[in-house]
Each structure stands twice: as structure tokens, then as C-alpha cells.
């Protein structure tokens, strides 16, 4: 095992990403969220990210951010943007 083991961070990122994807998909269906709504939430999440975190928390936030980006991109493609 190397001095730096990043597998914990990768697992945290993957878990956070998958959970947030499912959460956002459900919210989009049930709460009729718009791209604008999600972009606003993403903006605030990126501000939160910038406050400096430890490795695991940073990986979790990064996974959530990537999930938002994925869902927003899917919605834009669906609308033909």
C-alpha cells in the first residue's frame, strides 16, 4: 500500500454522485424543478465547496457537484439545447 491511499476518496465521490443523481432525478420528476432551479442550487454548492474541506468531505461535495452537472446536461439535451 502506498503512502497515499485515495481509494476512500474515490469511493466517497462515487457514492455521493450516485446518491445525488437518484435524488435529483426524483426531485425533477416530483417537484418539477427547472434547469434554472438546479443551476442555482449548483451555484450555492460550488460556493460551499470553496470553503476548504478534508479529503473525504471534498470528495463527497465533488461527487454532488458532478451529479448536478450531469442532470443539468441531460435536461438541456432533452430540451434540444
On the question of pLDDT at 2 being above 50, the answer is no
Domain of residue 49: give its range: 8-78
Residue 21: inside a domain, yes or no? yes
Q: Is residue 2 part of a domain?
A: no
Helix axes 55-78, 35-49, angle to 10 degrees: 160
Into how many domains does the chain fold?
1
Q: pTM of the entire structure? A: 0.85
Which residues fall within 8 angstroms of residue 63, CB to CB, at 6 or more apart? 12, 13, 14, 15, 16, 17, 20
Domain-embedded: residue 3: no
Position 1 in a domain: no
pLDDT one-digit tens code per residue, 36-71: 999 999 999 998 776 767 788 889 999 999 999 999
Any domain includes 52? yes
Residue % of the chain over a pLDDT of 70: 89
Amino acid at each position: 500500500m502506498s503512502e497515499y491511499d485515495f481509494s476512500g476518496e474515490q469511493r466517497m465521490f462515487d457514492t455521493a454522485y450516485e446518491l445525488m443523481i437518484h435524488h435529483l432525478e426524483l426531485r425533477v420528476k416530483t417537484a418539477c424543478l427547472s434547469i434554472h432551479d438546479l443551476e442555482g442550487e449548483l451555484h450555492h454548492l460550488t460556493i460551499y465547496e470553496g470553503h476548504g474541506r478534508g479529503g473525504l468531505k471534498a470528495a463527497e461535495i465533488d461527487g454532488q457537484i458532478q451529479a448536478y452537472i450531469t442532470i443539468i446536461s441531460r435536461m438541456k439535451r432533452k430540451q434540444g439545447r
